[in-house]
């Protein structure tokens, strides 16, 4: 029997399995069988019309089924079948990047000493190092991916590095965002990153852009750089970066991370390669894809993926090697395996295809939110309860059942057990609804309020009426009720 590899983000809907054996001679039958075995997976894989969702791609070995016979593609037991959902990351020549540029800058004596290990490599040499000095790279985000990117690109002598971020350094960032230090907690990330990068290399120029990338500013900002590197953790920025770089003909070095899985590629339609929308034409709707904050990430993972992105940027600049254009590199840290999938330009791509429908930038404001549409559309504002209100009601002796829908490892970090909270992870929720009574007053709680909103929907559909969602989850509880509670 053939088996289908299940990506980390979807395993919770497939009984926690990393691979599932399926029946079928053709890929369409195999996927239908998978959905029959795990009905919870169905809505993540198919839209209302029964078609595979646009942000879910199926590969047989290293080939996308859209470039084979689609659902009719025959499969055998030895085929490696994988589902690659989007995860809330040709051959370019130097001429592409340097068209119309001024002559290469000279290196001074200090720079020659500093870059000597580059200069003695024939692939870099004086000319390559001068290209690096002449180059400008825009880093979107100075977080998990942006940290190793910034550190290595600064050290390598990229002449002008642009940093875009508007966040401040939080203690929970330090597990992976290694450009920032403990002394920087509370500072704007952009200042902390600038100080560290200037310390690494005082010969480079660092431009700081302390704002969120939006449809109004993305084109003007990206226009001014040779290469864009996507180091964001959210879909709205990812689509904005992709669309703006395609419209401007710039290469976009992509990376993304989730728990133990990483992806990297170079999107560069101007040199014949595909763009992110060729792979995923539309962003996923809210709620279907977990964000990094909800899903967690191994601290080392952005280091690995960010360093791959930095390597790709440097190769593009010096015009050496085979770039990741038209290739999606997948990394599984648990198995310590890299895998490569072929990406092709999609002639139907709404952005870089033959008849593009997207000609300007789009802000996708809501879809990264973890709250499902049905809940978002609620007008009844008393479906939620704030931590302060809940504490007051508990203090008044009201009997309220708090149900925590996070995972066990999150419960072990912090929980409301002293208020009688019980753990029912969201994945087990449908099977364990019977443990709850419609007579009880129930408050649903998770980390930030997103997963518990889904549990709320499930209870509502099952006829529960005395239910509330804890607004902002246990993090809001820690912020407003119990500052002693550990945050993560």
By CB under 5 A, name the binding residues for Zn ion: 275, 277-278, 349, 351-352
CB 255 within 8 A of CB 263: yes
Q: Tell me the C-alpha distance between 208 and 366, whole Å.
A: 27
List, as own/partner pairs, every contact residues 372-381 make where C-beta atoms lie below 8 angstroms and the sequence separation is at least 24, other chains included: 372/286, 372/287, 372/453, 372/454, 372/457, 373/285, 373/286, 373/287, 374/457, 375/453, 375/454, 375/456, 375/457, 375/469, 376/286
The reply to whether 352 belongs to the active site is no
Dihedral pair phi/psi, residue 151, rounded to 5°: -60, -50
Half-sphere CA count of 22, side-chain side, radius 13 A: 30
Q: Tell me the C-alpha distance between 276 and 349, whole Å.
A: 9
> For Zn ion, which is the closer residue by CB, 354 or 381?
354
Minimum distance from residue 359 beta carbon to Zn ion (Å): 13
Helix axes 146-156, 189-200, angle to 10 degrees: 30
Minimum distance from residue 269 beta carbon to Zn ion (Å): 6
> For Zn ion, which is the closer residue by CB, 272 or 299?
272
How far, in Å, are 125, 300, 377 from residue 296 at the CA level? 41, 12, 27
> For Zn ion, which is the closer residue by CB, 114 or 277?
277
> For Zn ion, which is the closer residue by CB, 138 or 279?
279
Minimum distance from residue 351 beta carbon to Zn ion (Å): 5
The reply to whether 446 belongs to the active site is yes
Radius of gyration of the chain (CA): 24
Residue number of the CB closest to Zn ion reads 349
**Bridge partners of 136?**
160
> For Zn ion, which is the closer residue by CB, 124 or 227?
227
Minimum distance from residue 249 beta carbon to Zn ion (Å): 13
Give the sign of the dihedral formed by CA 310, CA 323, CA 128, CA 115.
positive
Minimum distance from residue 234 beta carbon to Zn ion (Å): 20
> For Zn ion, which is the closer residue by CB, 236 or 346?
346
The catalytically annotated residue of 275, 352, 414, 446 is 446
The catalytically annotated residue of 275, 278, 292, 414 is 292
> For Zn ion, which is the closer residue by CB, 118 or 277?
277
Q: Tell me the C-alpha distance between 454 and 429, whole Å.
A: 10
54: its two tokens: 């646009």
Burial class for 318, CB neighbours closer than 10 Å (0-12, 13-18, 19+): buried
Q: Tell me the C-alpha distance between 19 and 7, whole Å.
A: 9
> For Zn ion, which is the closer residue by CB, 221 or 352?
352
- Which residues are designated catalytic? 292, 446
């Amino acid at each position: 029997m053939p088996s289908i590899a299940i990506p980390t983000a979807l395993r919770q809907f497939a009984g926690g399995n990393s691979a599932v054996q399926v029946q079928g001679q053709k890929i369409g039958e195999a996927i239908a069988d998978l959905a029959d075995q795990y009905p919870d997976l169905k809505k993540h894989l198919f839209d209302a019309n029964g078609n595979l969702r646009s942000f879910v791609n199926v590969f047989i070995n290293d080939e996308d089924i859209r470039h084979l016979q689609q659902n009719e593609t025959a499969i055998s037991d030895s085929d490696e079948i994988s589902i690659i959902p989007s995860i809330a990351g040709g051959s370019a020549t130097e001429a592409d990047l340097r068209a119309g540029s001024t002559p290469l800058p000279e290196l001074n004596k200090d720079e020659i000493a500093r870059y000597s290990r580059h200069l003695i490599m024939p692939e870099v040499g004086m000319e390559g190092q001068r290209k690096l000095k002449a180059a400008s790279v825009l880093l979107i985000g100075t977080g998990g991916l942006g940290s190793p990117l910034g550190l290595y690109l600064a050290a390598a002598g990229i002449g002008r590095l642009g940093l875009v971020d508007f966040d401040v350094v939080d203690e929970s960032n330090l597990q992976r965002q290694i450009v920032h230090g403990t002394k920087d907690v509370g500072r704007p990330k952009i200042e902390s990153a600038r100080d560290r990068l200037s310390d690494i290399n005082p010969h480079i120029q660092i431009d700081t852009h302390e704002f969120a990338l939006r449809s109004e500013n993305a084109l003007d900002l990206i226009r001014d750089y040779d290469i864009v590197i996507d180091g964001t953790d959210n879909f709205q920025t990812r689509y904005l970066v992709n669309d703006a770089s395609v419209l401007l003909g710039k290469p976009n070095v992509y990376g993304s991370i989730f728990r133990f899985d990483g992806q990297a590629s170079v999107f560069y339609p101007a040199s014949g390669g595909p763009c992110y929308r060729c792979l995923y034409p539309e962003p996923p709707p809210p709620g279907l894809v977990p964000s990094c904050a909800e899903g967690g990430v191994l601290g080392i993972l952005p280091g690995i993926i960010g360093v791959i992105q930095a390597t790709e940027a440097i190769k593009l600049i010096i015009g050496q090697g085979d770039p990741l254009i038209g290739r999606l590199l997948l990394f599984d840290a648990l198995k310590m395996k890299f895998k490569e999938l072929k990406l092709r330009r999609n002639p139907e791509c709404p952005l870089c295809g033959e008849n593009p429908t997207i000609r300007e930038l789009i802000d996708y404001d809501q879809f990264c939110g973890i709250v499902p549409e049905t809940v978002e559309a609620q007008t009844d504002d008393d479906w939620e309860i704030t931590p302060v209100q809940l504490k007051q009601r508990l203090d008044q002796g009201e009997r309220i059942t708090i149900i925590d829908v996070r995972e066990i490892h999150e419960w072990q970090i912090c929980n409301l057990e002293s208020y009688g909270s019980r753990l029912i992870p969201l994945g087990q929720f449908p099977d364990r609804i019977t443990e709850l009574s419609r007579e009880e007053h129930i408050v649903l709680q998770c980390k930030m309020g997103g997963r518990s909103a889904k549990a709320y929907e499930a209870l509502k559909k099952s006829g529960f009426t005395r239910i509330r969602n804890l607004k902002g989850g246990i993090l809001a509880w820690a912020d407003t009720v119990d500052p002693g509670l550990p945050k993560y």
